[in-house]
Amino acid sequence: MAFTCLNGFLLSTCGRVFSWGANNAALGRAVDHTDLEDEDNIVKHSSRKQESRKLQQAIDVGEVDFGINVTIVKLAAGKHHVLALDTKGYVYTWGKNDKGQLGHQGHRVGGHHGPRGDDDGVCEIPQKIPTLTDIVQIYTGEYMSFAVDSLGEIWAWGLNKNNCLLTNQPEMGLVNTIVEQPMKVNLPDYFIKSKKTNVVQNTNLGFDMYQS
C-alpha cells in the first residue's frame, strides 16, 4: 500500500493498482458519479453547499488504468504525487507537478495535463517517463522522486532546495532549485554503486524479494 496526503493506494499481487480518497489529481483516474460515496455516509447536519463539496471529494475504491500489458510491482507516494514501477522497468507518475516531481519530459511545471481545465500543474492519469529504463526501485519525498536502475545509477527529480536531490554541479554552473526531468545523482567517490539491488516483486503466490 501507499498513501499521499489525501489518497490511498493498494497494489494487488497480480500487479493491479486501486485508489480511493479525495477527488484530486493524485487519485490517478477519471471519476464518474457512480464512484462518489453516498451523501448520507459523508456528511450530516450541514449546509447543502458543504454537502456537495464533501461529496465531490470522497471517492470510493476504483482501479487505476495503466493501459494494456502493464503489470505494476511497486508504488511510492509523495505528498500529492505517485510513482509506479512495472515489470519491464518503466516508471509511471501522476498527481501534482508544481515542483517538477512527475518528471514528464516536455510538461511545463505549473501547467495542467488533465480534464479539469484549471492551471495548477497536474497530471490526472499515469504517464510513463520515457527517459527512464531498466529501473528496479523507486522512492519519493514530499516533493521529490527517485529511481534506481539496474546498473546502480540513481536518478532524481522534483524540488531540489538545498541540493537535496544531489543533482547540482556548481563547478559546471548547473544549479537548479527545481529539476523537471530525471537527472543522475552526484554521490561522493567513496560511494560504490552496486548492480545488486533488492527489488520487491508481485507474484501470484504473494510478494517475493529478489536481487537485480
Instruction: For 168-201, write each residue's pLDDT tens digit.
Output: 877 666 778 899 999 999 888 777 766 666 555 5
Q: What is the mean pLDDT of residues 159-171?
A: 87
pLDDT of residue 210: 54
Q: What is the mean pLDDT of residues 91-105?
A: 93
| Cβ burial 3-34 (10 Å sphere, 16+ → b, else e) | ebbebbbebeeebbbbbbbbbbbbbbbeeeee
β strands within 29-177, DSSP E = 59-64, 72-77, 81-86, 91-96, 122-128, 135-140, 144-149, 154-159
120 pLDDT above the threshold of 90? no
Cβ–Cβ < 8 Å for 107, 41 = no
Cβ–Cβ < 8 Å for 27, 124 = yes
For residue 137, CA distances in Å to 2, 77, 205 come to 15, 13, 21
Query: How many independent structural domains does the chain possess?
Result: 1
Containing structural domain, residue 133: 2-211
Give the angle 114-119-123 at the CA atoms, nearest 5°.
30
- 102: its cell numbers: 512527475
The single residue listed with the C-alpha cell 492551471 is 119
What residues are paired with 135 via a beta bridge?
A: 149
pLDDT of residue 37: 52
pLDDT of residue 57: 72
Confidence class for position 55, pLDDT limits 50, 70, 90? very low
Give the angle 164-79-13 at the CA atoms, nearest 5°.
105
- Residue 134 sits in a domain of what CATH number? 2.130.10.30
Q: What is the mean pLDDT of residues 34-41?
A: 50
Amino acid at 17: V
Cβ–Cβ < 8 Å for 20, 26 = no
pLDDT of residue 118: 41
Residue 162: CB atoms within 10 A of its CB come to 8
Q: What backbone phi and psi angles, to 5 degrees, belong to 171?
A: -65, -20
116 pLDDT above the threshold of 90? no
pLDDT of residue 31: 82
For residue 14, CA distances in Å to 86, 87, 124, 136, 201 come to 11, 11, 23, 18, 10
Percent of the chain exceeding pLDDT 90 equals 57
137 pLDDT above the threshold of 50? yes
- Lowest mean pLDDT of 8-22, 29-43, 87-101, 172-186, name the range: 29-43
What count of residues does the chain have? 212
Q: What is the mean pLDDT of residues 18-46?
A: 71
What residues are paired with 64 via a beta bridge?
A: 17
